[in-house]
Homo-oligomer: A and B are copies of this chain.
Amino acid sequence: MKNAIILCSGGLDSVTAAYKVKDEYSKLKFLFFDYGQRAVKEEEKCCKEIAKRLEAEFIKVELKWLGEISTAMLNKEGEVKENNEDIKNWWVPARNSVFLVNALAFAESEFLKNKEKYDVIIGIKDEGDEHMADTTPEFVKKVNELAKEGTQDGDYEVVAPLIELDKTDVIKLGKELKVPFELTYSCYIENGPCGKCLNCVLRKNSFNLLRIEDKSYAL
């Protein structure tokens, strides 16, 4: 049985991805990235709580430079106003590529040190027409092709278990899997949920559409 490195931000998607795959793997390690995002404290708290529940190891990785070069509102101070749903406002340069390649380096390190094989799990989903570039099946395919060429034995895999699901599908799946939604934090801003950022709007709309109550996001 293989092991899993799960990229976990403490948000609804990555936590649901963790619940979906948890029984398919032996050891679980949560990789949490601190790239100077405004919601880092809230995200870390959620991620640690879920890690505890799933008996996963929590590992924090500092990628401060990514935050320094980021043009995204989630890395900048200032008030978030309504109608900020343009994804360009929230795009962190090459973020999922940076996260995944770091996770692949970690997977390779674990194999070289302990001869244990890890898959890398990422909770990206189908975001529809207006999607971030690095959330598509083609993107995952290209990362996997790079993983083959860029590691010594080439035997590492990135798995995106939610890639075919849209936000409402993810919530339905999470409900089936008894994901504690109230412990997840999707907001891009500290002291949230703010209800105005892209992630808050998308989460709220999807719960409303499904007529499911989102306790943590009762705004």
Contacts and interface: CB of A to CB of B under 8 A. Distances in A.
A97 B150 contact: yes
Number of identical monomers bound together in the oligomeric complex: 2
A72 B136 CA distance: 34
Most chain B beta-carbon contacts within 10 A, residue among A98, A102, A106: A102
A109 B133 contact: no
A93 B151 contact: yes
B109 A93 contact: yes
Interface string A50-77: 0000000000011111100111000000
Interface size class on chain A is: 35 or more
Nearest to A111: B93
Contacts of A25: none
Contact of A98 (B70, B102, B134, B154): B102
A71 B105 CA distance: 11
A150 to B, nearest CB: 4
B154 A133 contact: yes
Nearest to A65: B61
A152 interface: yes
A88 interface: yes
Nearest to A156: B94
Interface in A14-40: none
A59 to B, nearest CB: 9
A179 to B, nearest CB: 28
Interface string A126-138: 0000001110101
Interface of A: 61-66, 69-71, 88, 91, 93-98, 101-102, 104-106, 108-109, 112-113, 132-134, 136, 138-139, 142-143, 145-146, 148-152, 154
6 contacts: A88-B152, A97-B104, A97-B146, A101-B101, A133-B154, A143-B150
Kindly list the 3 A-B residue pairs having the minimum CB-CB distance in the complex, ordered from nearest: A94-B105, A93-B108, A97-B150
